[in-house]
Amino acid sequence: MVESSEYPKIRQWIFEACQANGVPSLAQEIRIELNNRLTDTFGMAKYRDTKLTIATKIWALANEQQKKQMIMHEACHHVVFLKYRGARAHGKEWRWAMERVGLRANRCHDVDIRPLRKQQKRKRFIFNCPCQQYIIGINLATKMFNGQKRICTKCKKELTYFGKVDYSGTIQPT
Ligand SMILES: [Zn+2]
Ligand SMILES: [Zn+2]
């Protein structure tokens, strides 16, 4: 999660990025959105509704510098979209914007997300038949979600999806 005590700091970083690029009023328009599932990317700039999306799972693993780098990276995408609509996402206009705030124009974050990968591997799914419950790994579960049928060895009835086992081992019906 993003602690509520972190919001003033985030807003300040957004403001600094906008101000350094001559568009301080843009900062108030940028809305912060949290995404609790996203792990492919640390942040996203959504232009249509001027949102800055934070992947909270990666946020939880990031240090202050990495958080600041990501927030300003995404804020600079919004700056570029406002000032040079149609410019390439990580093109020269964006690199200039990052230089103006005094940050490296890195395309990718450097947060160590190995703890998330381990958790994903451990992910288990629960399938039920009329007589028992099956805990199934992600590979087979993916095939079953895609239509592969499995039959209970005892009652010979088809297994149906029930829910996920979360990282702490708790069963979550979905
Ligand atoms: Zn980017
Ligand atoms: Zn059965």
**Cβ–Cβ < 8 Å for 17, 38:** no
Q: Where are the domains of the chain?
A: 4-116, 122-173
pLDDT of 28 over the 70 cut: yes
Residue 74 alpha carbon to ligand 1 centre in Å: 6
Residue 26 alpha carbon to ligand 1 centre in Å: 18
Among all ligands shown, which has an atom nearest to the Cα of 157? 2
- What are the beta bridge partners of residue 160? 128
Among all ligands shown, which has an atom nearest to the Cα of 129? 2
CA atoms within 13 A on the CB side of 117: 5
Residue 91 alpha carbon to ligand 1 centre in Å: 10
Among all ligands shown, which has an atom nearest to the Cα of 159? 2
pTM higher than 0.95 for the full model? Answer: no
Residue 134 alpha carbon to ligand 2 centre in Å: 9
Question: Could you read off the pLDDT of 105-150 as tens digits, one per residue?
Answer: 998 899 988 888 766 556 788 899 999 889 888 889 999 999 999 9
Among all ligands shown, which has an atom nearest to the Cα of 132? 2
Residue 73 alpha carbon to ligand 1 centre in Å: 6
Among all ligands shown, which has an atom nearest to the Cα of 108? 1
Cα-based torsion angle of the residue sequence 101, 105, 108, 113 in order, rounded to the nearest 10 degrees:
-50
- Return the closest-CA partner of residue 54 out of 71, 79, 76, 72: 71
Q: What is the pLDDT of residue 12?
A: 98
Distance CA 33, CA 142 (A): 29
Question: Could you read off the pLDDT of 41-68 as tens digits, one per residue?
Answer: 999 999 989 999 999 999 999 999 999 9
53 phi/psi in degrees, rounded to 5: -95, 135
What is the pLDDT confidence band of residue 96, given thresholds at 50, 70 and 90?
A: very high
DSSP 98-134: HHHTT----SS-----HHHHHHHHT-EEEEE-SS-EE
Residue 136 alpha carbon to ligand 2 centre in Å: 15
Q: What is the pLDDT of residue 119?
A: 61
Residue 160 alpha carbon to ligand 2 centre in Å: 11
Residue 75 Cα to chain centre, angstroms: 16
**Cβ–Cβ < 8 Å for 160, 122:** no
Q: What is the pLDDT of residue 85?
A: 87
CATH code reported for the domain at 4-116: 3.30.2010.10
